[in-house]
Amino acid sequence: MRSLCSQKRKILHVGRMFNDELFVKYFVVQQNERVLCLICRNNIACLKELIIKRNYNSRHSEQYEGI
């Protein structure tokens, strides 16, 4: 059972690397192991694109729609 759990954790961390596309789309940069929104200076704890996108859509999408 333990081997399944350890494999599952490894799979969860796949694809959690910061890429430049996130900077262009959502105005964020990586700072240590967190993500920093350049517009509101809010720390986003997770590198998931869904979380970053939610921050952008809920706080900044109306202001920066045409960019």
- CA–CA distance, 54 with 57 (Å, rounded to integer): 5
CB 28 within 8 A of CB 44: yes
Per-residue model confidence as pLDDT tens digits over 21-60: 999 999 999 988 789 999 999 999 888 899 999 999 999 9
- Mean pLDDT calculated for residue range 8-16: 53
Contacts of 56 (CB under 8 A, 6+ apart): 25, 26, 27, 28, 37
- Which pLDDT score, from 0 to 100, does residue 8 have? 53
pTM attached to this predicted model: 0.69
Name the β-bridge partners of 44. Answer: 35
Confidence label for 3 from pLDDT (cuts 50, 70 and 90):
low
Q: In the structure encoding, which two tokens stand for residue 61, read together?
A: 């999408």
- CA–CA distance, 10 with 33 (Å, rounded to integer): 17
pLDDT exceeds 80 at position 7: no
